[in-house]
Amino acid sequence: MLVDYAELEMTKGERTVYENGDFIAVCPWWATWPFEVMVLSKVHKRALVDFDEKERESLAEVLSEVTRRYDNLFETQFPYSKYIGMSK
pLDDT in tens, 27-78: 999 999 888 999 999 999 888 899 999 999 999 999 999 999 999 998 998 7
> Is the Cβ–Cβ distance between 78 and 40 less than 8 Å?
no
Average pLDDT over residues 3-32: 92
pLDDT of 1 > 90? The answer is: no
Enter the pTM of the model.
0.85
Average pLDDT over residues 6-27: 93
Distances in Å between the Cα of 87 and the Cα atoms of 8, 37, 45, 67 are 20, 19, 8, 25
How confident is the model at residue 76, as a pLDDT? 92
